[in-house]
Every structure is written in structure tokens, then in C-alpha cells.
Amino acid sequence: MTNIHDIAKMAGVSATTVSRVLNHHPHVNEETVKAVQRAIDETGYTKNIHAVHLKKGRTNLIGIVVPFMDQIYFSQLVDGIARAVSKTDCHLLIIQTQYIEEKELEALELLKTKQIDCLIFCSRSVQVDVIQSYSQSGKMVVLEDIQVEGISCTYMNHYDSFYAGLAFLYANGHKRISICLNRENSTSSLQRKKAFADFLNAHQLPFLDEDVVTDCLYLEDGINLANQLIQSAARPTAFLVTNDQVAAGLYTTLVRAGWNVPKDLAIIGFDNQSISKALDMTTVQIPFNKIGEQLIKQALESEATRHEIKLELIKRGTV
Amino acid sequence: MTNIHDIAKMAGVSATTVSRVLNHHPHVNEETVKAVQRAIDETGYTKNIHAVHLKKGRTNLIGIVVPFMDQIYFSQLVDGIARAVSKTDCHLLIIQTQYIEEKELEALELLKTKQIDCLIFCSRSVQVDVIQSYSQSGKMVVLEDIQVEGISCTYMNHYDSFYAGLAFLYANGHKRISICLNRENSTSSLQRKKAFADFLNAHQLPFLDEDVVTDCLYLEDGINLANQLIQSAARPTAFLVTNDQVAAGLYTTLVRAGWNVPKDLAIIGFDNQSISKALDMTTVQIPFNKIGEQLIKQALESEATRHEIKLELIKRGTV
């Protein structure tokens, strides 16, 4: 599809100038107006885009399903995707779901009714079989490790990275480690729980139910967790935490209550957000720009592929 | 436009069931299939959406222009807008610009070529006259205090809120206060600088160039600012900071270097982000959900309106 940049290039002017010509701005010289008009005529640049979509069967819209954007993991992810999209001729349609299944179905229907060319699931509530039933409706990419024919996936190896975090804590002398997760049965939480169980088993350590804390997503959840820890008598010596926001809430609340981190409690966060640098916090780096590039690449490819993203432990001062 | 929810309602089933029927899922009983089919026939529910758009001249797409989303102010803002959109029958098209003018022009062209019904500018690089030249192209809403005929605006009163922050610091004994801003000449920075100049003038305090620090947006900028302060001999006793991210970088770095906040330096942040609660930091609350609701309301209204958002100083422990 011809866009304003193509016109600008052909006419040898800036996009701003093309825009001024299109809007009959008074201060554009006649020669320029003519050059732009020639480029428009030659390319058949049209404003009747829906007619073009109807004819070509393409919308140049990529849909992404995301539960919310006020949580930094998701906003960094969407930012990475948006940066990758801005290098293509496509635009990004956001379907923010709050994990409401009907919103996710709406997104799938957008794909089926060809209102978008492809759909990326950053996270989901609907069952895999529901997504699978749309696999013939258009291109789909999911950010998790699922194996469904016709659907592309990019996934982080949460099992390996969680196991590496636990092993690092163990090597630093920690024998009672707690973990916290967000949604108990999400694909990533299941992988993380399996890594925890396997780790405990390999080191002949007991599995205690209270050492798996769930529903931790926001910084406030970390504050609450810290306040519970302060009250409790028997407690872990180390915490492997969902993400850096929860870890920052945990860390700052403990420190303000007079605790010494890592002496009183070692902490590993997740994501390598800015706040983890400011707090000199050990964490696991997620390469959001790389993930964004990969998801958009897969969204625009015709065949379905699988791609693993490696995560790296960043050693700082909280272990 | 009829959507999957309307069909579900009419057929007396869930949207998931409608989706299963549309996708010829095997496990749906015959009666249900018939009920859904009747609803589809009655409403004329069509998958040929572009034909519908072409006919109706509406896309149900709301575009938003945002520079980036890895910065919490913008991600909370987009989250607030997305929450408001999810209560309508519209979807959200994100144009992430990195403040590149051509990207903003692309967004304006989307409006002009009717690929979106309305366009919301969360922040911009192009001059006001460029936006103005598109005011007849479709509905536009900007999140800043500009007066352009035919364009709606919702704006935060940055002058009043900055002045209130300065007055609060002054009332707490501070005579040399520094401020930090992001882009030096953005609408909000100009208002904030004017508040600073007026405040100094009213209290017969000298204006020092070095007391206005610009290009502060990310947490890392606060870390750099802290490191500069630690090196400098003559320094302010208080800082009024762009946003809570910059303030958190400043605070955590100073505290880790052994400074006492607010004794050695008082800090007021901006936004009331989670991190400000965790650090017990004085800040200014921005009501993102309310702003989101307001922007979407204006995007869907036919006439252009102006709406002011009041900001509130949240007093905590860093002053």
C-alpha cells in the first residue's frame, strides 16, 4: 500500500510537506504542489482505504492481546512490539482484556472477520482449544510454550531460568527458599513450579505449601508479602520473586523496617527493570525488544514456527 | 455494528458458545447451533467487515499517538484509555512514535483516510499548526492545554500543581529548590517553568539556570542526577521532580550513598506511581483512569470540548 512516505520520496520532499499539500496548506510553493500531485497520480494513492482492504484482503493491522498495561512487564513488552511494528508498514491494534475471556474472543473474532491480519497473544485466559479452533482464521502468534499446529510461538524458558535462580541461591547457602508467582496455573507459573519441585527433589529438600505464594503481580503485592514476612516466625532465607515490581515492594518495605538484604533475606527479581538497577537487585533479564522483533517477524511470516528466548541471570547485591 | 456479544445475548448463550458455533466446534448441541444461526440471520451479522466500513463510513477504531510505552507515565495513561475503550464497541489502534514527526503524520493520515474514527494525541512533536490543518479530517482529542477550534482537549493543570509543590517545599523551610523536567519546550514543561519563575518572583528568590534540569524521564536519569548532586558543592535543599521514576532513581541512589531524605534533600515526585508508595515519597497524584474515561468520552462526542483535570499533592515522608 502506498503511504505518505512513498509519496514524499517520489516527490523529493518531506512527509510534512506532502501532508501540507494534501491539506491545502497556504505556504507551499506551486512547484512542490505539482511534484506531490504527480507522485499521488502515479501511485494511485487513495484515501478510500476500505475499498483497498476489501480488494486486497489485507488491513495492515496486527492485533495484540494483553491483559493490562499498567504493569511494567506488559508495558515493556508492548513497547518492544510497538518498536518492531513501527519498522513495518503495519499498525498495532491493542485489545486490553483484563483477562476477561469475552475480550479475548472478541480479538479472535477480529482475526476471523479479517479486521486484522494477525493476532499476537501476550497472555491469555481462554483454553488452548479455543485458540486452536481459530488457527485457520488467520496468522496467530503466542508468547508461551504451546505446541499447536498452525500457530507460531515465541517462548521464554521459565523452567531453566527459575532453576538457575534457585541453584544460585542454593550455592549461596540458602536451604529454605520461597518462590512467588502470579496466576497459579498460567503456562509460565506451571513451568516455574515444576522447576521448584525438581530443584527441591534434586537437593532432598522438603516441599512446603507455604513456600509457594501466588497472585503476586504488582509492587503492592510485594509490600503485603513483606508485611507478612515481618510477622511470621518460621520463614525462608531467600525469595525468588515473580517480577522486579513485586521484588521492589518486598525489598523497600523490608529495608524500611530495618531488615538487611541479603543478610536477613536474599531476593532475586525478574525482568531487569530499571528499579532493579537502582536497588542493586539480582534479577533475570528479559530482552523485550528482541521478543518484540521476534513476535512481529512471526506475525508476518506465512508458516508457523517456534522460537525460544534465553534469559540471563544478572548478579547484583541482593543475594 | 452487531458483534459477538449481541449474537450471544439474542441466542441466550455465552460468547464462547457463539464462537464455537461460528468455528463449527464439534461439541455444541443442535438446538444451540440453530439459536445462534437464527440470531446471525436476524442481525445480518457479517464477516465482511470492510464492506460494512465502506458502507457506514465508520471503523470503530480509535487511534492513540504515544511516544513510548516503556515509561510508566505513558503505560498507565494507555492502560486508563484502554480500560475506557473496552467499555465501548471500539478498539484501540496504537501509534507509537518515539517522538518522530513522520510517525505522528502517519497517524494524522490514518484519520484523514478514515482508517480510524478519531485520534487522541497523548503527546506530540509536530507543531500545533500541523494538527490544526487536520481538524476537519475527523475527531481529534489532545491531552494538553491548547485552544484550537474543532479539537477537543483534556489537560492537567501543571502550572497549579507545580506551584502547589513549590509552595509546600517553601512552607517546609526550603529556600533553594531545583526542578527537573523532561522535554524543555513541551506544553507541560513550559507551564511548569512558568510556575517556577512566578514562584521565585513572588518570594523574591533568585532564578539560577542550574536549578532547572531537563531531559529527565527515566529512572536512570534520576540515578545520574543523584550522582551529580553527590559531586556538587553548592546544591539545592529540595527537588521537585518530573515523575516518580526519576524521583525513585534520585531517592534510592542518594539513600544508598548514605544521604538522609528529606534531611539532606527533600523530594517531591509526580504521578503517584506504586514505587512512590513503597518509598513513602511525597508526590502529585494523576488520576489515569479518569483521564482515560474523559479522553474516550471526548473522542466519541461530536462537538469539541475542553476539560481540566485537577491534580492532588499527596503528602508523605520525603519533605
Probe site for chain B from A96, A126, A244 (most B CB atoms < 10 A)? A96
Instruction: Tell me whether 0.85 is exceeded by the ipTM.
Output: no
**pLDDT value at B48 more than 50:** no
Q: What is the pLDDT of residue B28?
A: 82
Question: Which residues of B fall within a CB distance of 8 Å from A122?
Answer: none
Answer yes or no: is B210 within a domain. Answer: yes
B163 in Cβ contact with B105 (< 8 Å): no
CA–CA min distance B307, chain A (Å): 24
Instruction: Say yes or no: B166 and B239 in one domain.
Output: yes
Instruction: Say yes or no: B192 and B143 in one domain.
Output: no
Q: What is the pLDDT of residue B33?
A: 85
Query: Taking CB atoms and an 8 Å limit, are B19 and A59 in contact across chains?
Result: no
Answer yes or no: is B317 within a domain. Answer: no
Q: pLDDT digit string (tens) for B145-174?
A: 999 999 999 999 999 999 999 999 999 999
Residue of chain B with shortest Cα separation from A217: B274
Q: pLDDT digit string (tens) for A12-38?
A: 888 888 877 876 677 788 888 888 888
Query: Taking CB atoms and an 8 Å limit, are B82 and A96 in contact across chains?
Result: yes
Instruction: Say yes or no: B139 and B164 in one domain.
Output: no
Identify which has the larger pLDDT, A139 or B38. A139
Instruction: Say yes or no: B66 and B22 in one domain.
Output: no
Answer yes or no: is B120 within a domain. Answer: yes
Query: Taking CB atoms and an 8 Å limit, are B5 and A47 in contact across chains?
Result: no
Cβ pairs bridging A and B (under 8 Å): 215
Q: pLDDT digit string (tens) for A91-141?
A: 999 999 999 999 999 999 999 988 899 999 999 999 999 999 999 889 999
**pLDDT value at B223 more than 50:** yes
Instruction: Please report which confidence band the pLDDT of residue A50 belongs to, taking 50, 70 and 90 as the band edges.
Output: low
User: How many domains in chain B?
Assistant: 3
Q: What is the pLDDT of residue B54?
A: 52
Q: What is the pLDDT of residue B244?
A: 95
**pLDDT value at A155 more than 70:** yes
Distance (Å, whole) CA A136 – CA B58 = 27
Average pLDDT over residues B295-305: 96
**Among candidates B25, B97, B245 on the partner chain, residue whose Cβ is nearest the Cβ of A133:** B25
**pLDDT value at A284 more than 70:** yes
Instruction: Say yes or no: A219 and A293 in one domain.
Output: no
Distance (Å, whole) CA B15 – CA B5 = 6
**pLDDT value at B295 more than 50:** yes
Q: What is the pLDDT of residue A318?
A: 97
Query: Taking CB atoms and an 8 Å limit, are B78 and A95 in contact across chains?
Result: no
CATH of the domain at A42: 1.10.260.40
Full residue range of the structural domain in which residue A97 is found? 59-156+288-310
**Among candidates A3, A76, A91 on the partner chain, residue whose Cβ is nearest the Cβ of B93:** A91
**Among candidates B49, B75, B112 on the partner chain, residue whose Cβ is nearest the Cβ of A69:** B75
Instruction: Say yes or no: B10 and B124 in one domain.
Output: no
Distance (Å, whole) CA B279 – CA B285 = 15
B175 in Cβ contact with B205 (< 8 Å): yes
Q: What is the pLDDT of residue A48?
A: 47
B162 in Cβ contact with A48 (< 8 Å): no
CA–CA min distance A199, chain B (Å): 32
Instruction: Say yes or no: B281 and B163 in one domain.
Output: yes
Q: What is the pLDDT of residue B96?
A: 95
**pLDDT value at B212 more than 80:** yes
Return the ∠ at Cα B232 (arms to B228 and B234), rounded to 5°: 135
Distance (Å, whole) CA B68 – CA A85 = 13
Instruction: Say yes or no: B141 and B202 in one domain.
Output: no
Question: Which residues of A fall within a CB distance of 8 Å from B75?
Answer: 69-70, 72, 74-75, 78-79
CA–CA min distance A274, chain B (Å): 6
**Among candidates A54, A101, A133 on the partner chain, residue whose Cβ is nearest the Cβ of B50:** A54
Q: What is the pLDDT of residue A159?
A: 95
Distance (Å, whole) CA B63 – CA B93 = 5
Specify the range with the lowest mean pLDDT, choosing from A14-18, B123-127, B280-284, B305-309.
A14-18
Which residue(s) pair with A61 in the sheet?
Answer: A91
Answer yes or no: is B318 within a domain. Answer: no
What's the full length of chain B, in residues? 319
Query: Taking CB atoms and an 8 Å limit, are B86 and A101 in contact across chains?
Result: no
Q: What is the pLDDT of residue B133?
A: 92
Cell 499517538 belongs to which residue?
A: B65
CATH of the domain at B292: 3.40.50.2300
Average pLDDT over residues B203-218: 95
**Among candidates B96, B105, B245 on the partner chain, residue whose Cβ is nearest the Cβ of A86:** B96
Q: pLDDT digit string (tens) for B224-273?
A: 999 999 999 889 999 999 999 999 999 999 999 999 999 999 999 999 99
Query: Taking CB atoms and an 8 Å limit, are B105 and A79 in contact across chains?
Result: no
Instruction: Say yes or no: B176 and B258 in one domain.
Output: yes
Q: What is the pLDDT of residue A51?
A: 54
Answer yes or no: is A52 within a domain. Answer: no
Secondary structure (DSSP) of B134-150:
TTTTSEEEESS----TT
CA–CA min distance B289, chain A (Å): 11
Answer yes or no: is B53 within a domain. Answer: no
Q: pLDDT digit string (tens) for A163-212?
A: 999 999 999 999 999 999 999 999 999 999 999 999 999 999 999 999 99
Q: What is the pLDDT of residue B303?
A: 94
Cell 531524605 belongs to which residue?
A: B261
Query: Taking CB atoms and an 8 Å limit, are B101 and A16 in contact across chains?
Result: yes
CA–CA min distance A254, chain B (Å): 10
Average pLDDT over residues B7-34: 82
Residue of chain B with shortest Cα separation from A62: B93
Average pLDDT over residues B108-129: 94
Cell of A297: 517477524
**pLDDT value at B92 more than 90:** yes
Q: pLDDT digit string (tens) for B168-200?
A: 999 999 999 999 999 999 999 999 999 999 999
Question: Which residues of A fall within a CB distance of 8 Å from B3?
Answer: 106, 109
Instruction: Say yes or no: B65 and B118 in one domain.
Output: yes
**pLDDT value at A44 more than 70:** no
Residue of chain A with shortest Cα separation from B88: A103
Answer yes or no: is A261 within a domain. Answer: yes
Answer yes or no: is B70 within a domain. Answer: yes
Instruction: Say yes or no: B297 and B152 in one domain.
Output: yes
Q: What is the pLDDT of residue A1?
A: 52
Instruction: Say yes or no: A214 and A180 in one domain.
Output: yes
